[in-house]
């Protein structure tokens, strides 16, 4: 087993998830790869550090009333979105009305002659 192959196995070696025969082979190869040894040691230290942090931590319980507060938060968000949706619809209708109004104001006044000629043509 060369260093490259051994490096691939380091994560499992750290976590102890290698089958026995492969673990024995990897451990035997460690003496030939000082870099692998150092990395293994470093990764094990970090794993141990986090394990210690976890071990301190008994199963905690969320504070009482958590689910009620969570559902209220979701409900508030929904209400907020509905209000936003409603206000955006209202705003869109207002804009359409405004455009129609402006359109009516700036449209050229109807020319009586044109109407007459159209009527004549018909």
Q: Which residues bind another protein (CB under 8 A)?
A: 8, 10-12, 14-15, 17, 35, 38-39, 41-43, 45-47, 49-51, 53-63, 66-67, 69-71, 73-74, 77-78
Q: Supply 97's token pair.
A: 């009305």
* Ordered alpha helix ranges (H), the chain: 3-15, 20-30, 34-56, 66-106, 112-121
Residues 13 and 90: their CA atoms lie apart, in Å, by 63
């Amino acid at each position: 087993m060369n260093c490259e192959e051994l490096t691939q196995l380091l994560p499992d070696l750290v976590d102890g998830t290698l089958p026995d025969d492969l673990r024995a082979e990897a451990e035997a190869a460690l003496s030939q790869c000082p870099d692998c040894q150092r990395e293994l040691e470093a990764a094990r230290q970090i794993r141990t550090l986090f394990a210690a942090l976890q071990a301190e931590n008994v199963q905690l319980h969320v504070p009482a009333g958590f689910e009620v507060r969570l559902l209220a938060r979701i409900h508030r968000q929904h209400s907020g979105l509905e209000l936003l949706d409603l206000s955006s619809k209202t705003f869109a209708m207002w804009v359409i009305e405004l455009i129609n109004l402006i359109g009516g104001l700036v449209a050229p006044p109807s020319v009586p002659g044109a109407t007459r000629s159209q009527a004549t043509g018909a």
